[in-house]
């Protein structure tokens, strides 16, 4: 069995102006940037904080979702 390059579980944290998604070893795998002030958000084309958080949460769930899909496909 091969070692996964980004081991689960993945987590995320708010680092002021971005959410960072990390794998089980602490390696950063994604940044999702946001801006709370509408004028700055529009100019910089950034996401509102709630949307950025939703993306970070779902990104952190990817290893679990892929494991479930793999288990289901092997069961059929």
The answer, yes or no, to whether residue 76 has pLDDT greater than 80, is no
Neighbouring-strand partners of residue 32 = 19
Distance CA 27, CA 23 (A): 5
In this prediction, residue 30 carries a pLDDT of 98
Domain that holds residue 65: 11-75
Confidence at residue 2, expressed as pLDDT on a 0 to 100 scale: 59
pTM value is 0.85
Domain annotation covers residue 57: yes
Q: Please state, in angstroms and rounded to a whole number, the distance separating the CA atoms of residues 69 and 48.
A: 31
> How confident is the prediction for the chain on average, in pLDDT?
93
pLDDT tens for residues 9-41? 999 999 999 999 999 999 999 999 999 999 989
- Please report, for residues 2, 30, 33, 57, the alpha-carbon distance to residue 50 in angstroms, rounded to integers and kept in the order given: 37, 17, 11, 11
**What domain count does the chain have?**
1
């Amino acid at each position: 069995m091969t070692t996964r390059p980004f081991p689960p579980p993945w987590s995320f944290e708010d680092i002021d102006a971005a959410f960072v998604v990390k794998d089980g070893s602490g390696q950063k795998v994604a940044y999702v940037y946001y801006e709370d002030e509408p004028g700055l958000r529009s100019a910089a084309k950034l996401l509102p904080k709630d949307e950025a958080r939703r993306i970070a949460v779902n990104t952190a769930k990817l290893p679990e979702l892929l494991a479930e899909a793999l288990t289901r496909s092997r069961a059929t």
